[in-house]
Amino acid sequence: MHKKELINLALSSLRSNKLRSALTTLGIIIGVFSVILLVALGNGLQKYITDQISGLGSNILFVLPGKVGGTQGPGDSINKLTVANAKYLESRINSIALVSPLISKITTVKYQNKSNKNTQVWGTSSSFPDIIKTDLVRGSFFTTAQEKSGGKVAVIGQTVVKNLFPTSDPIGKKVLISGGRYTVIGVSAKKGSSFGQDQDNVIVIPFSAARKQFSIDTVNYIYLSAKSPELVTFVKKRATEILLSRFEEDDFTIMTQEQTLQTVTSITSVLTIALGGIAAISLLVGGIGVMNIMLVSVTERTKEIGLRKALGARRIDILLQFLLEAVTLSLVGGLTGILLGFLVSLIVSQFFVADITPWSVILAFFFSVAVGIVFGIAPAIRASRLSPIEALRYE
Amino acid sequence: MKQDEEKHLVIELSNISKDYISDEIVTHVLHNVSLQVWKGEFIAIIGPSGSGKSTLLNIIGLLDVATGGTYQLSSQNVTNLTEDELARVRNKEIGFVFQQFNLLKRMTVLDNVILPSIYSGISSTLRVKNAKELLIRLGLEEQMHKKPNQLSGGQQQRVAIARALMNSPSLILADEPTGNLDSKSGEEVMKILKELNAQGNTIIMITHEKDIADQAQRVIYIKDGKVQNP
């Protein structure tokens, strides 16, 4: 039989059972669609996070309390990154890197009778804007002198402005943070939100003021910024030596931006694979649907198979006929699924992260063809092996 | 008789036997059946049900294989062929007409007639041409693009005959061709078979109706798996 005839045959028999073919195809459509969409989401997430980290600049290093990759996670052990240690690090390393510790506390801030909840109050040093890019739309960041003297000044984010100063100019006004009065000296530019966290609901105050205000003696992180990209490795080495001289054990972790990227990429890759894997299960279920319907079809058409054999069809003719039907079902489903997955990913990417990767489309395509072959072969072999007289006698 | 004029053997069965074994009980369906069929003959095989006449027809039609004996079809030994080789010989040499017509419902009449030729490798334009000619010859020109279930029983059997003739076989096997038809349609089908025979086609037909069998040139009576001598 010619290829064209086989294809026509497969199409005509699928057409004669439109609803059934459509429902079987739907299983594959959903499978392929979810593989593409979920992989796109996973990839979008990865791209988004890596972009955010890359946006910090390649000179950045972070010192985190606790040992990452040890037996316990960073949050589990007692934070030994004290303010004294941070100061000591700064004094020893300031020739090759900018240093800013960060104390973070979530609290409610007030101005007159208005209040703004769940505000992140960050205590940083005056070099913070030089390490983590912070654009101001009004006023200025606090100076080293203000930081040293423990001046009660604040740079507020857009959400804080919106809730506390809907009509008036915030510059020079005093906001109440945990009972302390802070003068607003700057307003930062809008950053938007990231994973449900409002990045504009932030107030930055001098580190020394935050330490007293919240009676905290440990820092959440220490940010380091090497004075040139070539110095990153050296800064990491020096910072490790300096901190080790103060600690009994290496109960801290220094991550360069590259390492952070690697860590995040490895986490999000696992996430993407897990999402894709879950979606692949639905493709598998779709494949079983194809097999099921092909088995039904073989049984239903036993007589037809007997007739075709009597008229001269060889085993391979019957095998190819049924295999091609299964492949056509899964291929039509696969292509529709790809199209649908592509469209929905495009729509999703408008308001959330989604990034369609060519490999997931190619993979989904070949996977759907493979599903047709794998799940179509058993029914097709079964059909090809039917004995012509028994098949003809079948009612 | 025709064999005197042409001396051409289409079928030579020698000591064909068929046994079924199930649960260690052997059933002898056919016993040393020997039969010669000459080109252009019209043979009717009759016998009570369970006599083995259908098994004999299936063996002649290469749908079933004998457990003993040898079979020569058009001077070719077909006794020990593989399943696919049998399919090829069936396709080229044998045209089947069934009691139940066995037309495929979802295909048009024309596509049903074309069916045997798609397994024989002739070009698709030639196929359509041949099938149309056959349908015209059998008076089914108007029905060509209809589905089989839109046709009467007699018309459906005529479509089946056209299909049997599609690959110009050397042998036409008809299994109770009038069994599902009213007597008028039955007569019509018999008339066609006789015409085909007159044009030189060799036909073997199973029937249990005596008046149908009488229209053949030669009648073979089978009982208990043996050919009975009259």
User: Complex ipTM, two decimals?
Assistant: 0.92
Q: How far is A336 from chain B (nearest CA, A)?
A: 26
Same domain, A176 and A293: no
Q: Does B90 touch chain A (CB under 8 A)?
A: yes
Q: Residue B2 pLDDT > 50, yes or no? A: no
Q: Do A304 and B104 touch (CB under 8 A)?
A: yes
Question: Smallest Cβ distance to B87: which of A2, A303, A314?
Answer: A314
Whether A14 and A140 map to the same domain: the answer is: no
Give chain A's residues under pLDDT 50.
76
- pLDDT tens digits, B190-207: 999 999 999 999 999 999
Q: Do B87 and A313 touch (CB under 8 A)?
A: yes
**Per-chain mean pLDDT for chain B:** 91
| Chain A residues within an 8 Å CB radius of B163 | 311
Cα nearest neighbour of B114 on chain A = A311
Q: Are residues A117 and A235 in the same domain?
A: yes
Residue of B22, B99, B104 to mutate, testing the A interface (most A Cβ within 10 Å of its Cβ): B104
> Could you tell me the residue range of the domain that residue B72 belongs to?
2-228
Is A253 within the bounds of a domain? no
What one-character-per-residue DSSP string does A257-294 give?
A: HHHHHHHHHHHHHHHHHHHHHHHHHHHHHHHHHHHHHH
Contact across the interface for B91 and A312, Cβ inside 8 Å: yes
Q: Which of B83, B115, B124 sits opposite A311 (nearest CB)?
A: B115
Residue B7's pLDDT is what? 66
Per the CB < 8 Å rule, is A313 touching B63?
no
Contact A308 B115 (CB under 8 A): yes
Would you call B24 an interface residue with chain A, using a CB distance cutoff of 8 Å? no
For B87, the closest chain A residue by CA position comes to A312
Tell me if A64 is assigned to some domain.
Answer: no
Give the count of domains, chain B: 1
Which B residues, 175 through 214, put their C-beta within 8 Å of a C-beta on chain A? none
Angstroms from A11 CA to nearest CA on chain B? 12
Provide mean pLDDT across the span B49-56: 90
Domain assignment of residue A198, yes or no: yes
Asked if residue A98 belongs to a domain, the reply is yes
For residue A392, the chain B residue with the least C-alpha distance is B102
Cβ of B92 under 8 Å from any chain A Cβ? yes
Same domain, A242 and A308: no
Q: Does B64 touch chain A (CB under 8 A)?
A: yes
Same domain, A341 and A219: no
A65 inside domain: no
Torsion angle in degrees (nearest 10) through CA of B74, B77, B82, B88: -10
Given A246, A275, A290, the domain boundary residue is: A246
Domain of residue A284: give its range: 3-51+264-393
Distances in Å between the Cα of A289 and the Cα atoms of A11, A23, A292, A378, B105 are 18, 9, 5, 13, 25
pTM beyond 0.80:
no
Residue of A311, A315, A318 to mutate, interface with B, max B Cβ within 10 Å = A311
Please tell me whether residues A236 and A270 are part of one structural domain.
no
Boundary residue ending a domain (A191, A219, A246): A246
Domain match, A294 and A336 both: yes
Query: Does residue A239 share a domain with residue A290?
Result: no
Structural domain count of chain A = 2
Looking at per-residue pLDDT, the higher value among A218 and B133 belongs to B133
Same domain? For A288 and A240 the reply is: no
Query: Is the model's pLDDT at B3 over the cut of 50?
Result: no
DSSP string, B51-96: SSHHHHHHHHTTSS--SEEEEEETTEE-TT--HHHHHHHHHHHEEE
**Average pLDDT of the residues in B134-156:** 94
Cβ count within 10 A of residue B7: 9
pLDDT score of A85 = 84
Q: B18 pLDDT exceeds 90?
A: yes
- Interface A-B, measured as beta-carbon pairs within 8 A, has a size of 55
pLDDT at B167 over 90: yes
Q: Tell me how far apart the alpha carbons of residues A317 and B206 are, in angstroms, rounded to a whole number.
A: 30
Identify the three-state secondary structure at position A140: coil
Give the gap in angstroms from C-alpha B4 to the nearest C-alpha of chain A. Answer: 32
State the CATH number of the domain containing residue B195.
Answer: 3.40.50.300
Residue A225 lies in a domain: yes
pLDDT band at B1 (very low <50, low <70, confident <90, very high): very low
